[in-house]
């Protein structure tokens, strides 16, 4: 298993970039806004981005992830269900 942590987005300082973590576990990418998973990308499922139910700042993070494709975002309850199914399938647990 290969795990890589990166940042996404356009923050100018490394400290701010800590709020935009992308956790890569093999072929899975988990995008965090602060400590919340707001999007994931997996080869068999593609990019899944939740509709913004959080804040203006998280909205900015979502725009960085999907380049502002708000019409492709899915309702948060559907997003959470898809994420849970995928994590269960991959035998992963995010605390």
Residues 53 and 77 sit within 8 Å (Cβ to Cβ)? no
Q: What is the pLDDT of residues 33-47, one digit of tens each?
A: 999 999 999 999 999
Q: Which residues contact 81 (CB under 8 A, 6 or more apart)?
A: none
Scanning the structure block, which residue is given the tokens 């804040």? 55
The whole-number pLDDT of residue 11 equals 76
| C-alpha pair distances (Å), 6 with each of 3, 63, 64, 80 | 10, 17, 14, 22
Q: Is the pTM of this model over 0.85?
A: yes
Tens digit of pLDDT at every position of the chain (95 positions): 999 999 998 877 667 778 999 999 999 999 999 999 999 999 999 999 999 999 999 999 999 999 999 999 999 999 999 999 999 999 999 87
Q: Half-sphere exposure (CA, 13 Å, Cβ side) for 81?
A: 5
């Amino acid at each position: 298993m290969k795990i890589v942590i990166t940042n996404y987005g356009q923050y100018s300082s490394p400290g701010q970039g800590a709020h935009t973590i992308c956790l890569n576990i093999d072929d899975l990418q988990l995008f965090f806004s602060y400590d919340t998973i707001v999007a994931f990308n997996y080869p068999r499922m593609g990019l899944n981005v939740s509709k913004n139910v959080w804040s203006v700042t998280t909205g900015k993070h979502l725009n960085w992830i999907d380049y502002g494709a708000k019409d492709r975002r899915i309702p948060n309850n559907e997003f959470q269900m898809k994420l849970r199914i995928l994590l269960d399938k991959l035998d992963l647990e995010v605390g």
